[in-house]
Structure 1
Amino acid sequence: MQINPGRTNHLETFKSMQKNSEPLKNVNSRILIGAPPTKKKLLTIGISSVQHPQRSYLLDTLQSLFFPSSPSELKHIIVLVHLADPDPKWLDQMVSNISSLFKPYIQARQLVVINTPLKNYLPLKDPKKKFNDTPAYIAFRSKQNMDYAFLMNFATNHSDYFLMIEDGVKCAPGFVTQIATILSAWEYKPYVTLEFSELGFTGKLFRTRDLPRFVHFLLLFYQQMPCDYLLSHFLDLLMKKKPIQFFPSLFQYMDNYSSSDGKFSSLNNKELEENDIDYPSNPAASIYTSLQVANGSVVMNAYSLDENFFYTKEAKAGSHLTVVLNIPAKVIQVQVLTGSDQKGENQLKEGQVELGYDTSNRYNDCDDYILLGFLVNGVLNKQVLSEESGKKVKCVRLLVTAPAPSGIVVRHINLWIK
């Protein structure tokens, strides 16, 4: 595997750079909003953002990060945003928006916004075309690598761990707790990164003590290839070839937007692809719901294997439809289909599916839920790939996360068991 024909020389250069792996001393990133915490936190969540021609998703990402998180989760994190666009008008507008929308988190030293002046950026030197990239995209990805490097450099001393996400993703509710639980289990195990998403550079977690090495690596090869490709080569240099990934993914792109390539695409987690395993099992179960049932509709139809369906008049945020298995089983795949036709009518646009486990023998519910995934265009079709798949599932819950303006049709909740 090659970074370029001079990889051996680059490896020797990188090894010599590792001898002095302190954060960059000449980078003058400045704080625009907030102040770092007075005490070291568990986790810094880093986001780098620039202007996008369609619209900015940064504020949506911050809302999905802060608003569903509990006070106990927030006290363990700091969110570090790098506004990496030099346009002063855009910077002023974003600073104003963030200051007004997230004032409590700024005052609590949970949100810091920085900017790095252009004079700190390295110039492009005879950029060579790779992957059929245009010169404009080579310039974009090269600057993005430096954006990320400066963000990580600033983050080095404020927490024990650093998590990178992009400015166009939705965070799963409770993601901080899920990551903290995994970090506790992996505290003394060797790794370079833990991965909580397969999407671009999103969901990649480092120990902050390892950030200086990767910062140097990004700045050494900043114009060679995109950051997620560079991370793969970085792991290869450190003899860590197999990614350590956790499922289900805790982050999903909004409206199929990827800030890794600066454009819209159809990229989503490959877990969401249609890959049914034979015919669904749907073992015996009871169905419970807090949704308002339409006249004549039968809630059990949502779980039936025929063409019947369940219809609800309205769907309030927080309402649910929960399948409770008579006998807990090892669920290997879940499919949820909403909507009355392919035109998108009566779909549940904002919802998620959760797997429930029971340790206290509840009759019609579970006492421990983990997120399986978000509905995309009213549909979820996902294999249960994590270590959780070895546990027996008792509940599968369809949770409404935002009010639906019209009635919702739930055509099928299909389960495959092992």
Structure 2
Amino acid sequence: MLKSTQQSLFNSFFFFQPCVGYLTIGIPTVKRASADYLFKTLTSLINNLNGKDQKMVNIIVFLADFDPLYKLKRVQELKKTYQPWLESGLVQIIQAPRWYYPKLRNLKRNYNDSPDRVFWRSKQCIDYAFLFEYSATLSQYYMQLEDDVVTFHGYFDIIRDYIHRQRHKNWSSIHFSTLGYIGKLYRSSDIVELGRFFYMFYDEHPVDYLINFYSNLKMLPSNLVYLPSLFQHIGIKSSLKGKSQPLKDIQFALARVYNSNNPPAKVTTTLQSYGGTEPEFAYGKTVTYYWCKQPRAKDTITIIFHSPIKLKRVAVLTGDKARRRDCLHTAELQVSSTYYLQQCISWNKIGDFKRNGNVDIDVTNLNQSPFKNPIRCVRIYIPNKYRNWVILREIAIWSEAIE
């Protein structure tokens, strides 16, 4: 525990008043031997939030060290850099009382872990339990981050939009990163019970194992996965002494490749979607993916424009750096000018996908009859069954106004 004068100074920078927001972001942090990434993480989170969104978000920095002098120094450093956001309540700093932690030494060495690793992973479980308990009443949703990440610009709008799209689906968590315990989002009403589970079995398993066990015991629905990832891991030195983990999320969000106008349209498909993704994700302006299971023969993805367009160019990108085989290596690009009974008919082929999974057709160079009339639909047609899944990264369409 901190001495009385130190405790008073420390608590003067705490903001414990609960406020019902939209999203709480929890960041447990401990001292690393030769690296410090927390300030990069906080700066990235704050800079990529606009002023309006800051009123809907709580960023909780949990100083999880046992050294009171180090925590006091840390508070002073954070106050110096982030005073405006501490005063506004966007950033909050918390600590856990020492008595909250059960025995952490001389525990069972499950998985043949070293004593130091057992201590580290057991304490991590308790850290998460405390952070969950504190954060449960602050907002509708809670998301866990690590203290060594940076985020994609506009991450909050993407998260909020994606949650809204899933409002009619049964989900237990949404993963906005493919690495570790980064970007895992829950309903705040669920995290107290999950934290208690961590606390109960803290000395048995690492936290990632406990999450899987908890999901199986509760028979929870499958996790949803948002692609590409919104958070990138930048840390190299782990909080576990002597451990390095230079992991990078190769599915971290990048800017869209094409600067197309993508006229308003409805996107439909016969494919089996995965992870809560939808085909319109690849068509929208937001950076995201559509991911589907193995295509069947004659599956389609159809873009139905709200109004007929004068088509200039169509480009489609499939596959991903992490999953190069998840691409449309055999598929056709088709167009239709005839819309009848809520669907397009009389399709005309204008090009084939290349073996790399991409297609780019400039129709102004094509002297074909389909383009004499305004185009109402563009379709990706898959003639044969696939063994691999498919990632549809981007659908880009250029059009002109019809005179």
- Whole-angstrom CA distance in 2 between matches of 1:190 and 1:155: 23
Distance 2:181 2:203 in 1: 16
Where does residue 331 of structure 1 map in the other structure? 317
Q: Deviations over 1:319-375 (max 9, x none)?
A: xxxxxxx7332212467xxxxxxxxxxxxxxxxxxxxxxxxxxxxxxxxxxxxxxxx
- Per the alignment, residue 392 of structure 1 pairs with 395
Give 1:233 shift.
1.3
Counterpart Cα distance in 2 of 1:286 and 1:217: 48
TM-score, with normalisation over the residues of structure 2?
A: 0.60
Root mean square deviation, CA, Å? 3.0
Question: Which residue does 2:83 correspond to in 1?
Answer: 103
Query: Residues 227 and 251 of structure 2 are in contact (CA less than 8 Å); yes or no, is this contact kept in structure 1?
Result: no
Q: Is the 8 A contact 1:36 1:158 kept in 2?
A: no
Offset of residue 248 of structure 1 = 0.6
Instruction: Indicate if the aligned counterparts of 1:168 and 1:259 stay in contact, CA closer than 8 A.
Output: no
Task: Return closer, same or farther for 1:255/1:46 CA change in 2, 3 Å cut-off.
Answer: closer
Which consecutive aligned stretches of 4+ in structure 1 deviate over 6 angstroms post-superposition?
Answer: none
CA shift in 2, pair 1:228/1:258, >3 Å: farther
Select the residue among 225, 232, 235 that pairs with 1:252.
232
Q: Secondary structure in 2 aligned to 1:170? A: strand
Which runs of 5 or more residues in structure 1 are unaligned?
Answer: 1-29, 273-282, 288-325, 336-383, 396-418
Any idea what SS the aligned residue of 1:131 has?
helix
2:163 is equivalent to residue 154 of structure 1 = no
**How far is 1:66 from its partner?**
0.5
Match of 2:44 among 55, 60, 64: 64
Distance 1:124 1:199, change over 3 A: same
Question: Does the 8 Å CA contact 1:37/1:110 hold for their aligned counterparts?
Answer: no
Larger Rg computed on CA atoms: 2
Partner of 2:205: 225
Cα distance in 2 for partners of 1:57, 1:88 equals 20
Check 1:329–1:258 CA distance in 2 against 1; reply closer, same or farther (3 A cut): farther
Partner of 2:23: 43
> Does the aligned pair in 2 maintain the 1:61–1:169 contact within 8 Å?
yes
Q: Deviations over 1:213-240 (max 9, x none)?
A: 1011000111122212211111111223
The code of the aligned residue for 2:395 comes to: K
Question: Compared with structure 1, are the counterparts of its residues 189 and 261 closer, same or farther at alpha carbon in structure 2 (3 Å cutoff)?
Answer: farther
- Give 1:101-180 correspondences, 5 Å limit: 101-124=81-104, 127-180=107-160
* Counterpart-to-counterpart distance in 2, 1:262 and 1:74: 37
Deviation for aligned residue 1:187: 2.9
Q: Deviations over 1:55-79 (max 9, x none)?
A: 2211111011102221122111011
Shift of 1:198: 1.6
Change over 3 Å in CA distance of 1:137–1:81 after alignment to 2: same
The 1:53–1:256 alpha-carbon spacing in structure 2 relative to 1, beyond 3 Å, is closer
1:196 pairs with 2:199: no
* Count of aligned residue pairs for this structure pair: 268
Task: Indicate conservation of the 8 Å contact 2:33/2:241, yes or no.
Answer: no
Match of 1:85 in 2: 65
